C-alpha cells in the first residue's frame, strides 16, 4: 500500500475545480506519509496539456483510463475499472469529491474491494504511528464532529465536501508523469445506458460554483421576505441560499441549504441577512473570500467571521442596499 490517489472529474472536456481542491488535501496526506500523490481520471479525449494542470496543482503523477465508454457516468462500469486499478496498484488512500459522482462511485467500489469509507468529510489527517487516515465529518444532524478511522481494511477511502478547501497555487515548474491506461472490455457493463440528462431547477446547480451567494436565516421571519434577498442576489449577479432554519421552515428548498448538513460554498462574496452564525452554518462558509453580514444583534456569532458587519434591522437595510445598487446602475448607464 503506497500512493495517495485523488479522483479527478471533468465536464465538457474541462477539469472541474473539485479535482484541484482534492489535490490540496491529498498533498498534505502524501507528504505526511512520505509517498506520491496521484490524480486519476476515468474519461476520454483530454489532452496532456489539460491533464498537466493536475501536476501543476500538486499531483506527482496522473493516470487516465482513456475510453469513450467512460464519458457518460455509469457507476457499474466506472466501479469495475476503479476496483481493478485498486487491486492492481494497491493505493494507501483514495479521495473523491462528495459530488453526485463521488457519492455514487465510492460506496460501489468500497464494497468490491472490502474497504471502509467515510462520506462527506470536512477534515482529513494521518494518525502518527498507525499511518491510518483520520476522517472527520459532521454527525447527528451536524451537532457533533466525529473522527473515524478504518484500522483493518485498505485502501483508506473518503469523500470530501466540495469547496471545503482551496486549490494549491498553480506551479508550472512542477513535473510529473502522465500515464494513459487502456480500459479492459470486460469492465464495460452494457446493461445500463444513459438515455438523457435532466437539468436542475434553475439556479440550484450553481450555488457551490457561484461567485456571489446571498443567504437568509431565521431572522427573515417568513418565506415572502426572501423576495428582497432574491432582488439583492439579482443585483449582484449571484444566487440565493439559506440556513438550515430557513429550509426546515419551508422558506427555501434543501438544495439552497448552506452548512454542515447542506452545501459548503466558497464564493468571492457571501452576503447574509438574519443569520445568527451557528457553528454548523459557519463551517459551510468559512472559505468565502468576503463575508458581509446584516443582523440587529451586535453579539451575533456571524460578526466574528464577517469582513463587514451591519448592525441594523434587515427589513430596513436590505431594501436600502437594493435601492442604492439600482440607482448606481442607472447612473452608470
Banded pLDDT at 314 (limits 50, 70, 90): very high
Residues 12 and 147 in one domain: yes
Q: How many domains does the chain have?
A: 2
Domain-embedded: residue 199: no
The answer to whether 66 and 42 are in contact (CB under 8 A) is no
Q: Read out DSSP for 105-165?
A: HHHHHHHHHT---EEEESEEEE-TTT-PEEEEEEETTTTEEEEE--SSSSSEEEEE-TTSS
The lowest-confidence range among 187-196, 228-237, 307-316 is: 187-196
Q: What is the pLDDT of residues 116-156, one digit of tens each?
A: 999 888 889 999 989 999 998 877 655 678 899 999 888 99
Q: Which domain holds residue 38?
A: 4-187
| For residue 104, pLDDT beyond 50 | yes
In a domain, 194, yes or no: no
The pTM is what? 0.71
Examine the domain organization and report whether 31 and 142 are in the same domain: yes
Same-domain status, 113 and 37: yes
Task: Decide which of 125, 153, 187 is a domain's last residue.
Answer: 187
Same domain? 283 vs 174: no
pLDDT score, position 203 = 47
Instruction: Give the integer Cα–Cα distance in Å for 281 and 261.
Output: 8
Helix axis angle, 75-89 relative to 100-113, nearest 10°?
50
Residue 25 and residue 166 in one domain: yes
Q: For residue range 236-248, what is the model confidence (pLDDT) as tens digits?
A: 999 999 999 999 9
Instruction: Dihedral sign for Cα 303, 305, 310, 316, please.
Output: negative
CATH label of the domain that carries residue 260: 3.40.50.1220
* Gap between the Cα atoms of 147 and 136, Å rounded: 4
Does 195 fall in a domain?
A: no
Q: Could you tell me if 175 and 308 lie in one domain?
A: no
Amino acid at each position: 500500500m503506497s500512493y495517495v490517489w485523488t479522483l479527478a472529474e471533468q465536464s465538457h472536456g474541462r477539469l472541474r475545480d473539485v479535482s484541484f481542491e482534492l489535490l490540496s488535501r491529498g498533498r498534505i496526506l502524501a507528504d505526511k506519509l512520505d509517498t506520491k500523490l496521484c490524480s486519476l481520471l476515468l474519461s476520454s479525449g483530454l489532452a496532456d496539456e489539460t491533464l498537466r494542470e493536475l501536476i501543476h496543482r500538486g499531483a506527482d503523477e496522473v493516470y487516465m483510463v482513456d475510453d469513450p465508454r467512460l464519458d457518460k457516468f455509469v457507476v457499474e462500469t466506472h466501479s469495475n475499472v476503479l476496483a481493478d486499478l485498486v487491486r492492481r496498484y494497491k493505493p494507501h488512500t483514495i479521495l473523491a469529491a462528495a459530488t453526485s459522482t463521488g457519492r455514487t462511485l465510492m460506496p460501489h467500489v468500497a464494497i468490491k474491494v472490502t474497504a471502509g469509507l467515510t462520506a462527506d468529510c470536512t477534515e482529513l489527517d494521518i494518525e502518527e504511528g498507525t499511518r491510518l487516515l483520520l476522517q472527520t465529518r459532521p454527525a447527528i444532524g451536524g451537532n457533533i464532529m466525529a473522527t473515524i478511522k478504518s484500522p483493518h481494511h485498505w485502501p483508506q477511502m473518503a469523500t470530501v465536501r466540495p469547496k471545503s478547501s482551496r486549490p494549491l497555487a498553480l506551479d508550472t515548474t512542477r513535473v510529473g508523469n502522465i500515464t494513459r491506461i487502456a480500459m479492459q472490455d470486460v469492465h464495460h457493463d452494457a446493461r445500463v445506458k444513459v438515455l438523457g440528462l435532466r437539468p436542475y431547477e434553475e439556479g440550484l446547480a450553481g450555488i457551490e460554483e457561484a461567485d456571489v451567494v446571498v443567504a437568509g436565516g431565521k431572522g427573515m421571519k417568513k418565506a415572502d421576505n426572501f423576495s428582497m434577498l432574491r432582488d439583492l442576489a439579482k443585483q449582484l449577479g449571484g444566487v440565493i441560499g439559506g440556513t438550515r432554519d430557513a429550509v426546515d421552515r419551508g422558506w427555501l428548498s434543501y438544495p439552497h441549504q448552506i452548512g454542515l448538513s447542506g452545501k459548503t460554498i466558497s464564493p468571492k462574496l457571501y452576503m447574509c441577512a438574519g443569520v445568527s452564525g451557528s457553528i454548523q452554518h459557519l463551517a459551510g462558509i468559512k472559505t468565502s473570500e468576503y463575508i458581509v453580514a446584516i443582523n440587529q444583534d451586535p453579539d451575533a456569532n456571524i460578526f466574528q467571521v464577517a469582513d463587514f458587519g451591519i448592525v441594523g434591522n434587515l427589513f430596513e437595510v436590505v431594501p436600502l442596499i437594493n435601492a442604492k445598487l439600482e440607482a448606481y446602475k442607472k447612473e452608470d448607464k
